[in-house]
Structure 1
Amino acid sequence: MLAAHRASYVAALALLAACHHDPQFATAKPPPDAAQIALGEKLAKAGDCASCHDSARREPFAGGQPVNSPFGPIYASNITPDATYGIGNYTPAQFAAALQRGAAPGGKRLYPAMPYPSFAALDPHDVNALYQYFMYGVKPVANATPQTHLPFPFNQRWVMMFWRIAFAQHGLFKPDPQHSAQWNRGAWLVQGLGHCGACHTPRGPAYNEMGYTEHSPLYLTGGVTDHWYAPNLTGDPGSGLGRWSADEIAAFLRDGHNDRAYAFGAMAPVIGASTQYMSDDDLHAIATYLKSLPAREASGQYVDSATVRASTMTTLHSGMPERPGAGLYLSFCAKCHGADGVGTPDKAPPLAGSSLALSSDPTSMLRLIVEGSQSPQTSGGGEPRKMPAFRTQFTDSEIAQVASFVRGAWGNNAAPVAPPEVTRLREAIHR
């Protein structure tokens, strides 16, 4: 009996000693470590912290920009080491709790607009590197960010403690021995640091992601965030990545475009501030992981047929296009995207076979027509690709017609768009 108690006591001391050396349990700020600061900077870029946390004045990580949610704007925190307005007084343990459990000092619970369920996958070494970078590698900025004021009952932050227990079922990433090191690296980046599911996975009624790994059937099958539809990233050959090669995925993440598509909307700043800085090894690891995902939530079909494309071109060039939207497309869109839908190299992507055009949710396509867009500025991507806005030229019915035409032309086969869908989107984005 005494021996058993002694063994338990020794084990407890060993655990306490381990906790003392684990940065997540540290209660005092450690001295700066140059290697850890450098690693933390890379991790912060891969985690795309800047897209949400940079200020409107482009001050790195000074916060204040709204992250729009269905319940109202949630303002990003100042995460510079400023002691008054930022996180300069955070201990390593407090930093880890906020980053991975959504628990800020003083009992404040963070909304899941902060992807702490995904960051729970990071190990203590990586969390410590991020802490070192934000404490010693970032300039403090005395920027007081606006307070988030959501309507009742969403303003009851204490509920987030129970939300995390119920829905944030994600933890430390564990490599799968049945897959390669490259696959596991990609899985770790997608599921954890990159938090791709925060946009690309549909959310439930509690704003919970419907899965955090490939074992969940809805993981990365597409989701709407701030009136942009983040597309299906599974192997669906219609709306997903089934017809994309791993090299095309890597090029898209590095340059902001490839021969199939260019980045727009909420994805443009992700590439501009994050993925363009990742190594080719990491980009191909991400591509390897994504290409391993089976087709799920299939939407739209594409028939790559010269006969079908020729039929569409005959309709367009007949002088009296019979299909609604065809005349508008020929007048306003064909000069860039081509009458044959194959696009213009270094200018506009193809629409024939476009996963955007075949998506189950046409929100992004409609918003692009209304607002236009520009691809991100990247070091190797050349001049950003631009699409003009047509909100003043087209009525809601005309936008629905041209979108429906594209979704059914050149071998595309996706559901048409109704004018009320455009009206609702315009009202939501005030365009």
Structure 2
Amino acid sequence: MKNMLKGLGAALCVALPFLAQAPADAATPAGAGAADQALVQRGAYLARLGDCAACHTAPKGKPFAGGLPMNTPMGRIYVTNITPDAQTGIGGYTEADFARALRDGVAKDGHNLYPAMPYPSYAKVNDDDVKALYAFFMHGVAPVQQANRESDIKWPLNMRWPLMFWNMAFLQKGAYRDKPGKDVAWNRGAYLVQGLGHCGSCHTPRGVAFQESALDESGSAFLSGALLDGWFASNLTGEHNAGLGRWSDEDLRTFLKTGANRHASAFGAMTSVINNSTQALSDQDIAAMSAYLKSLPPVGGNGAAAYTYDPQATKVSLDRPANDAGARVYTAFCMHCHGVDGRGFAPMLAPLAGNPNVLAKDASSLINVTLNGTGDLVINGVPSPFPMPGFAAVLDDKQIADVLSFVRAGWNNGAPAVGAAEVAKLRQSTQAGR
């Protein structure tokens, strides 16, 4: 199971490393001055911070032309074209139209956007940043004529007008305001995490109406981890086992810049976040995000005592011949990368011992990445040499359940066992259409 524990998360959004600067072939208005160019460049940085390409660029598609399928509880939707094409994109949007779509979830023609678009987070973006983003999308992105695709959601669930009431109930309007008593770095980190970074869209549990249970640290559920589209987006609070409690500030900054550290490495949708967003952020913004996240009190977890490494029982299980079914699968498929001691070869190959994703109550991410593998981390243009491969065609449901149960019990991890029925359910949902 090469690099099985690649990560902190999953996402509503899945993205191309071209946002750090405006594309070379992008249209810039004739006679644009240095101030306009600077605004476009700043908007490009902000668009990368918001990982806008993740949802608005389909695999092998043109930048921001839409078409990416996205699964929701109601059915599949297809993300829209946000290039400045006048017919099929947002070329006819004024800055006010753009701001309304971004922060209120209402398109130029008045129809409501589905909250798969993280406008409850973008509502916190300030006017200056909206202006810069608008400049980038109008003058730093090449127009693409590509018609938007209707959703697969059936009537009456495809009606948009009920979203007005959803917004009335759950949308908190107003840009982020600095919190008194907090320093500049903390407030900058809070603004980025809660706003353009929209971390809560994946890492905060959802209510019955698909609303985020909390939008900032004032809610106890904020960033406490959530199941989303077959992945469990990790706990980002200070919880000791499944969260960031054992991570130093340096550990977290390293993860955001490179996607790997001594505790874990990125998998699932978090891989694209690292590849196309956080690795390109300034050191100052990375430090601010880390400062804010490290300030969050512990929430959630598996209720176990604080993790301490203990290899003895697992070492006995792995003695040749391995004496249980999970250990036998581990020795055949996993041990060469993750080690007899479970500590892997970080940061190249993730550890399993004490990894927050192993210790989480929900094993969905472990099952998913074992079945389907994950994409390459690409840092500064260099792909990871050891991406996690998928084992769906190699191991059956019981074998995967056995090995994950072994890993979750091993090295004093103490996490619940995995059942074959759980594996079968995720196999069916994630393999459909492949």
Q: Same fold (TM over 0.5)?
A: yes
Partner of 2:330: 329
2:308 to 283, 288, 304: 304
The alpha-carbon distance between structure 1 residues 237 and 375, as it changes in their structure 2 partners (threshold 3 A), is farther
Pairwise CA RMSD = 1.7
Q: Aligned-pair distance for 1:164? A: 0.7
Q: Could you tell me how far apart the structure 2 residues matched to 1:290 and 1:347 are?
A: 24
Partner of 1:101: 104
Q: Could you tell me how far apart the structure 2 residues matched to 1:327 and 1:273 are?
A: 38
Q: 1:346·1:385 contact (CA, 8 Å) conserved in 2?
A: no
Q: 1:170·1:212 contact (CA, 8 Å) conserved in 2?
A: no
Partner of 1:75: 78
Q: Could you tell me how far apart the structure 2 residues matched to 1:139 and 1:181 are?
A: 36
Partner of 1:344: 345
Q: Which one-letter code corresponds to 1:72 in the other structure?
A: G
Q: Aligned-pair distance for 1:300? A: 5.8
Q: Could you tell me how far apart the structure 1 residues matched to 2:54 and 2:385 are?
A: 18
Partner of 2:51: 48
Q: Which one-letter code corresponds to 1:255 in the other structure?
A: T
The alpha-carbon distance between structure 1 residues 60 and 354, as it changes in their structure 2 partners (threshold 3 A), is same
Partner of 1:6: none
Residues 342-386 of structure 1, C-alpha deviations (whole Å, 9 max, x = no match): 102453111000001011211010011111123420118763531
Q: 2:261·2:347 contact (CA, 8 Å) conserved in 1?
A: no
Residues 402-421 of structure 1, C-alpha deviations (whole Å, 9 max, x = no match): 11111111010111111111
* Structure 1 residue 319 corresponds to structure 2 residue 338: no
Partner of 2:273: 270
Q: Which one-letter code corresponds to 2:313 in the other structure?
A: S
Counting only pairs closer than 5 Å after superposition, residues 405-424 of structure 1 correspond to structure 2 as 405-424=406-425
Q: 1:377·1:384 contact (CA, 8 Å) conserved in 2?
A: no
State which drifts further: 341-350 or 123-132.
341-350
State which drifts further: 356-365 or 388-397.
388-397
Q: 1:102·1:110 contact (CA, 8 Å) conserved in 2?
A: yes
Partner of 2:354: 353
Q: 1:201·1:219 contact (CA, 8 Å) conserved in 2?
A: yes
1:162 to 158, 161, 165: 165
Q: 1:310·1:340 contact (CA, 8 Å) conserved in 2?
A: no
Q: Aligned-pair distance for 1:388? A: 1.8
Counting only pairs closer than 5 Å after superposition, residues 201-350 of structure 1 correspond to structure 2 as 201-299=204-302, 301=304, 303-305=307-309, 308-321=310-323, 323-350=324-351
Q: 1:262·1:385 contact (CA, 8 Å) conserved in 2?
A: no
1:153 to 142, 153, 156: 156
Q: Secondary structure at the match of 1:68?
A: strand
Q: Which one-letter code corresponds to 2:407 in the other structure?
A: V
Partner of 1:91: 94
User: What TM-score comes out, normalization by structure 1 length?
Assistant: 0.89
Q: Aligned-pair distance for 1:127? A: 0.6
State which drifts further: 138-147 or 380-389.
380-389
User: What TM-score comes out, normalization by structure 2 length?
Assistant: 0.88
Partner of 1:175: 178
How many residues align? The count is: 399
Q: Could you tell me how far apart the structure 1 residues matched to 2:291 and 2:385 are?
A: 27
> Which has the larger Rg?
1
Q: Secondary structure at the match of 2:232?
A: strand
Q: Could you tell me how far apart the structure 2 residues matched to 1:180 and 1:270 are?
A: 27
Q: Could you tell me how far apart the structure 1 residues matched to 2:381 and 2:40 are?
A: 26
The alpha-carbon distance between structure 1 residues 150 and 199, as it changes in their structure 2 partners (threshold 3 A), is same
Q: Whose helix fraction is larger, Structure 1's or Structure 2's?
A: 1
Q: Aligned-pair distance for 1:112? A: 0.3
Q: Secondary structure at the match of 2:47?
A: helix
Q: Which one-letter code corresponds to 2:409 in the other structure?
A: G
Partner of 1:4: none
Q: 1:336·1:347 contact (CA, 8 Å) conserved in 2?
A: no
Partner of 1:20: none
Q: Secondary structure at the match of 2:176?
A: coil
Q: Which one-letter code corresponds to 1:363 in the other structure?
A: S
Partner of 1:395: 396
Q: Could you tell me how far apart the structure 1 residues matched to 2:368 and 2:342 are?
A: 19
Q: Could you tell me how far apart the structure 2 residues matched to 1:246 and 1:72 are?
A: 39
State which drifts further: 401-410 or 142-151.
142-151
Q: Could you tell me how far apart the structure 2 residues matched to 1:296 and 1:194 are?
A: 21
Q: Which runs of 5+ in 1 are unaligned?
A: 1-28
